[in-house]
Chains A and B, each alone.
Chain A
Amino acid sequence: MVRSYSLPLTLGVVATGLVFSYLEYFIFLVAPTAQLAAGELAQKIFYFHVPAAYAMYLCGVVCFIASAAYLAGASEGKNAWARAGAECASLFGIIVLMSGPLWAKKAWGVYWTWDPRLTTSLLSVLIYVSIVVLRAFAGDGYAERKFAAAFGVLGTVNLPIIHYSVQKWGGNHPTVIMKGGGGLQHPDMKLALMMGFVAMTMLAALLLLARKRLAMSAARLAELEERALFSGRLED
């Protein structure tokens, strides 16, 4: 049997590819360069860095909702969404932590500083990575799933802390697009950021769907292997 991808998913992949292609063109060739204090040319990292952080929040929320739902009543689908949410949040979080220091090197003169937002972001990424590692290496039993779901709920509590850390505790991170921020002073800068948000939302949705499908297939495989084992068709 050939397991094919559905037409909406294929169209989604094509649309996301087109949006990202235009975004890259717009960032590199249309959006203006910012002042030296903002990192000059390196400020263009912002158009991927901030949407990636937003995508991490989005995937974190998916992980939170699915984990809470799993704790309320376990099902294969809820577990798959919780797993996909943690995996995608880890990916976007790692992207944020990789791109941010490269921009910071130009804007602040250092790759890393224990700024409140950087520290809380690192904490969140470590939480999501630990959920992924737990699910990968501690087995896929009911207890492990429940523990991962509880971790997924608790881990998401940190997301609002990241968001408000700049206002509460200051630090090096600039407030640009939030309340009281300096704002993007050129319309093309605003447009690039908006496109970044759209593109990253589409990518996050596709990756979540793909990872959820993978988790469901893995669960189905484990179930069939167990059946085959009982029927003597599979060696232990």
Chain B
Amino acid sequence: MTTLSTFQGAAETTEDRSMPFEAVEGGEETTSAAVLLVVAYILIWAGFMAFVWLTMMRQKRIDARLDDLERSLGQENDRDAPA
């Protein structure tokens, strides 16, 4: 187990921490395919759910406003109609 003292000991001097950067051809792909797959599906479903939720919320708000206005205008028409 790495303890604080061993960590501090390992990095005592700047020479101990020195690391040359070397050019390599291509390199190696280390990203986990499983992580990429899960992230992709979470993003896809979050996108669909957000779209559906926003659509439903907006529809609900418009429907409520429409009901108010239709009731209000309907009462006005009733009042204006000849007896």
Contacts and interface: CB of A to CB of B under 8 A. Distances in A.
B48 A98 contact: no
A227 B69 CA distance: 9
A218 B55 CA distance: 12
A221 B62 contact: yes
B4 to A, nearest CB: 35
A98 B37 contact: no
Contacts of A214: 55, 58-59, 62
Interface residues of B, number: 29
B51 to A, nearest CB: 5
Interface string B29-66: 10101101101110110011001100100110011011
A42 B73 contact: no
Interface centre among B31, B39, B44 (most CB of A within 10 A): B44
Contacts of A103: 36, 40
Contacts of B27: 109
A19 B29 CA distance: 34
B70 interface: yes
B37 A48 contact: no
B78 interface: no
B12 interface: no
B47 A98 contact: yes
A224 B59 contact: no
5 contacts: A1-B70, A24-B41, A95-B43, A99-B40, A210-B55
Interface of B: 27, 29, 31, 33-34, 36-37, 39-41, 43-44, 47-48, 51-52, 55, 58-59, 62-63, 65-67, 69-70, 72-73, 76
